[in-house]
Amino acid sequence: MAKNRIITVQNISIAVTAEEMDDYICITDIADAKSDRSRAADVIRNWLRNRSTLEYLSVWEQLYNPNFKVFESEHFKKQAGLLTFTPSVSEWIEQTGAVGLYVKRGKYGGTYAHKDIAFEFASAISPTFKLYLIKEFQRLKEEENNKDRIEWDAKRFLSKNNYIIQTDAVKNFLIPKKNYRDNLEWLAYAEEADILNVALFGFTAKAWREANPQLAGKNNVRDFATVNELTVLSNLETHNAQMIREGKNKNERFRILKEIAEYQLGILNAAEQIKIDEMKK
């Protein structure tokens, strides 16, 4: 039986259920951030009728669902944008065999989406709301695995590499002296991972290893990142992938990613400090 949990994001209660495949999040609850509960179904329908949404869902299903009916999904995409096109989640599931979404009845009822898809839906609601959703989801996973004394593989959620979550902002490593954000000689030969590293941390993986040989080994700088940094990193990966699809060059992408990282990390760190100050009162 699926295990239901509740997280609170900007005063909105959101159900999370542990299914056989992975965690699924109630996007009906997420829709409350945009409209009242009675109109949540309309918000989801409007999101589903968008071509970019259907493209994302189709690619996700092809990656994780061997029984997905690609041909049937094309019928949905061809109708995207038409005023008469108002698909429901149930229709999408029945006609394509999709597993990334499902509709649940009864207690904790609503439309549930695999966490990857739920975060994409949250982006359509509000990029800021998505940030807080990812952060609270991370906290949920961290708390669950702390209780069971099991190390949470945070990067399974954030990316393909293994990261170790640290909840405090203490840095147990030396920061490379070279300013990689202003001196962009490295950028011409950089891999995508380092573009994200410099945008967020201010230095490359190689520079970090050279400055911290005693920590390097099997570790990298992301192993020592804070929850807030990993939250922003996840969002940067999404933005970077989209910009690559749009054909933006490395210089343009790095500039945009650096601005996003500074802005979003500032928001999360400020919110964290407010909580700390309130606890001290």
Which pLDDT does position 134 carry in this prediction?
93
Q: Give 146 or 50, the one with higher predicted confidence.
A: 50
What residues contact residue 109 under an 8 Å CB cut-off, 6+ apart?
Answer: 28
Residues 21-43: pLDDT tens digits? 789 999 999 998 887 767 888 89
* Rounded percentage of the chain residues whose pLDDT exceeds 90: 32
Q: What are the backbone angles phi and psi of residue 173, rounded to the nearest 5°?
A: -150, 165
Residues 76-92: pLDDT tens digits? 888 877 777 788 899 99
Which pLDDT does position 222 carry in this prediction?
82
d(CA 177, CA 147): 39
Which pLDDT does position 149 carry in this prediction?
44
d(CA 107, CA 43): 21
Which pLDDT does position 39 carry in this prediction?
84
Give the global pTM. Answer: 0.53
Residues 222-238: pLDDT tens digits? 888 888 888 888 888 88
Burial class (CB in 10 A: 0-12, 13-18, 19+), 97: middle
The angle formed by the CA atoms of residues 64, 65 and 68, to the nearest 5 degrees, is 140
d(CA 254, CA 196): 8
Which pLDDT does position 167 carry in this prediction?
34
* Mean pLDDT, range 194-216, rounded to an integer: 86
Q: Give 256 or 221, the one with higher predicted confidence.
A: 256
Calculate the dihedral angle through the C-alpha atoms of 19, 24, 28, 29, rounding to the nearest 10 degrees: 110
pLDDT at 146 over 90: no
Amino acid identity for residue 83 in this structure: L
Which pLDDT does position 147 carry in this prediction?
56
pLDDT at 166 over 50: no
Q: How high does pLDDT run on average in the chain?
A: 81
* Rounded percentage of the chain residues whose pLDDT exceeds 70: 83
* Mean pLDDT, range 163-167, rounded to an integer: 33
pLDDT at 122 over 80: yes
Q: Give 91 or 155, the one with higher predicted confidence.
A: 91
Q: How confident is the model at residue 169 (pLDDT cuts 50, 70, 90)?
A: very low
Q: Give 198 or 4, the one with higher predicted confidence.
A: 198
Which pLDDT does position 117 carry in this prediction?
94
pLDDT at 160 over 50: no
d(CA 93, CA 73): 10
